[in-house]
Amino acid sequence: AQSVAQPEDQVNVAEGNPLTVKCTYSVSGNPYLFWYVQYPNRGLQFLLKYITGDNLVKGSYGFEAEFNKSQTSFHLKKPSALVSDSALYFCAVRDMNRDDKIIFGKGTRLHILP
């Protein structure tokens, strides 16, 4: 069965600094990988995904993520954080060879300090 690990409950970054939110995954087949963001009292919004091709994928709001097959990681990054980036971030995985469900990590709260 697939699983996702987000090792950090919270990440604090000063505004203007680069940010990284970590994610590792486990699937038996090939992964499709996703990042979602959730603002308070809102639903989940899609940020970006890795399907195939370039390991570095770019998404909404200046975010990007790097797929690393050998480390089974898909860390979310942004070169310069904004206060408005403060939210709950979820990494998710789908096993393309087995299931149609997407499994989410437990989430990482990103706090950008002004």
Binding site residues, another protein, CB under 8 A: 32, 34, 36, 42-46, 49, 51, 88, 90, 94, 96, 99-107
Which residue, 82 or 88, has its beta carbon nearer to another protein?
88
In the complex, the smallest distance separating the C-beta of residue 29 from another protein, rounded to whole angstroms, is 11
In the complex, the smallest distance separating the C-beta of residue 107 from another protein, rounded to whole angstroms, is 7
3-state secondary structure of 103: strand
Instruction: Say if CB 31 and CB 71 are below 8 A apart.
Output: no
In the complex, the smallest distance separating the C-beta of residue 81 from another protein, rounded to whole angstroms, is 22
**Could you write out the DSSP letters of every residue in 57-80?**
EE-GGG-EEEEETTTTEEEEEESS
Distance, in Å, from the CA atom of 40 to the CA atom of 32, rounded to the nearest integer, reads 26
Which residue, 42 or 69, has its beta carbon nearer to another protein?
42
